[in-house]
């Protein structure tokens, strides 16, 4: 008789039981998921670097405004006006300001394009990830049919699937139902928040 978990888990609309799965299959699955995440890293790093670059340009722009305002308050004791040197400095700074505004617009456009590219790549990766979740569910959950996760999951099910290997080990550990339920809800609550944040980022 197949060795099943003693405690069921509510998943994809039903109470289900975990079944024994070879360790190597779990390792192979984790390698697949790690590679997907690794492929997405360059997009995220590029976006973060560009955001920092824009912030630095904006900071320089603001600093120049402060310098210009200070220079305008500098008066020549004899003429009670600005010296030619001061006027030249202000003109130079204003020219730099104009270039900075153009650079900021260009960088923000580039950022938008990169963000759209990352979302597109993430959407493509999500399709692969959902298929991987579906395959893992078939291996770990008793009487789970192909396509059942893909066609029935909600945000809670997705949170569980993202940590299905950990949750599987938890359910097969023989711990009490109270301990298992507590740890399960902690995992779900943490992951659901992240999923909702990502959804708002995409919209």
Give the HSE-up count for residue 62: Cα atoms under 13 Å, Cβ half-sphere: 6
Taking the chain (203 residues) in runs of 10, the rounded mean pLDDT of each run is 78 93 84 80 84 92 88 69 83 91 93 87 84 91 93 90 88 89 88 62 49
Does the domain made of 9-202 have the CATH classification 1.20.1050?
A: yes
Decide if 197 contacts 43 (C-beta within 8 A). Answer: no
Task: For residue range 95-138, list pLDDT tens digits in order.
Answer: 999 999 999 999 999 999 988 888 888 788 888 889 989 999 99
| Residue 83 in tokens | 């010296």
Q: Where are the domains of the chain?
A: 9-202
CA atoms within 13 A on the CB side of 181: 7
0.75 surpassed by pTM: no
CA gyration radius, the chain: 28
In this prediction, residue 179 carries a pLDDT of 92
- Tell me which long-range contacts 72-77 makes (C-beta under 8 A, separation of at least 24): none
């Amino acid at each position: 008789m197949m060795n099943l978990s003693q405690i069921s888990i509510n998943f994809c609309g039903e109470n289900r039981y975990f079944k024994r799965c070879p360790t190597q299959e779990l390792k192979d699955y984790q390698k697949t998921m790690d590679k997907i995440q690794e492929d997405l890293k360059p997009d995220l790093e590029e976006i973060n670097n560009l955001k920092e670059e824009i912030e630095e340009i904006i900071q320089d722009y603001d600093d120049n405004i402060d310098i210009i305002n200070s220079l305008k308050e500098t008066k020549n004791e004899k003429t009670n006006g600005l010296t030619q040197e001061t006027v030249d400095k202000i003109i130079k700074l204003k020219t730099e300001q104009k270039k900075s505004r153009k650079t900021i617009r260009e960088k923000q456009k580039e950022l938008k394009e990169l963000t759209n590219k990352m979302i597109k790549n993430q959407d493509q990766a999500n399709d692969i990830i959902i298929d991987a979740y579906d395959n893992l569910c078939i291996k770990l959950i008793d009487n789970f049919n192909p396509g059942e996760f893909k066609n029935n999951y909600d945000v809670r099910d997705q949170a569980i699937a993202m940590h299905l290997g950990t949750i599987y080990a938890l359910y097969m550990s023989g711990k009490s139902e109270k301990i298992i339920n507590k740890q399960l809800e902690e995992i779900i609550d943490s992951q659901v928040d992240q999923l909702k944040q990502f959804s708002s980022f995409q919209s």
